[in-house]
Amino acid sequence: MKIYLDACSLQRPFDDKTQVRILLESDAVLGILNYFEMNKIELINSDVLKYEIGRIPNNLRRLNSFNILNAADMYVKLNGTIEKNARIFLEKGILPLDALHLASAEYGKADYFCTCDDKLIVRAKKLNLKLKIVTPIELIGEIEK
């Protein structure tokens, strides 16, 4: 099972856990990473993730995310196909960086694209992608089937 965790998912364990949803998503991301460490799933890294994570001002958050991504099973380099597909996603209302993430995940043949971004989930589910768009909590359910 190939998983593309977007930047907000990777960052969720560092967010303020006073909201129950954030606490649950944080625990789910940690569980996903545990499955990765046990070689039960594969993680996909990309030029787009590397770029977005590199912009995080908090050193601890940035370094932790890079450590996770550096251990990923696959790396997707930005290319013309990804850029072309991202432009199509832009026309359908997806924000630029999100469009590049989705196109990278699709190019890497991810089974699941995991995000905590509600607006992205709604918009991406309308794209008729080959991969499934899920929250961290939904992904745990899929992994544990």
pLDDT in tens, 3-40: 999 999 999 999 999 999 999 999 999 999 999 999 99
Q: Which helix (H) or strand (E) holds 30?
A: helix 20-37
Whether the pLDDT of residue 140 is over 90: the answer is yes
Give residue-wise pLDDT tens across range 57-86.
999 999 999 999 999 999 999 999 999 999
Structure tokens at 76: 């997707």
Inform me whether the pLDDT recorded for 128 exceeds 90: no
Which is nearest to 106 in space by CA: 91, 89, 90? 89
Q: What's the count of helices (H) and strands (E) in the chain, helices before strands?
A: 8, 5
2-143, CATH topology level: Rossmann fold (3.40.50)
74 alpha-carbon distance from chain centroid: 13
pLDDT beyond 90 at 145: no
State the average pLDDT over residues 46-56.
Answer: 97
DSSP label at residue 13: G
- Express each pLDDT in 88-116 by its tens digit: 999 999 999 999 999 999 999 999 999 99
Spell out the domain ranges in the chain: 2-143
Average pLDDT over residues 29-56: 97
> Is pLDDT of 124 > 90?
yes
Residue 119 pLDDT class (50, 70, 90 cuts): very high
Question: DSSP letters of 80-127?
Answer: HHHHHHHHHHHHTT--HHHHHHHHHHHHTT-SEEE---HHHHHHHGGG
**Averaged pLDDT for residues 44-60:** 97
Q: Name the token pair of 27.
A: 């625990």
Pull the structure tokens for residue 126: 């309308």
Question: Which amino acid is residue 5, in one-letter code?
Answer: L
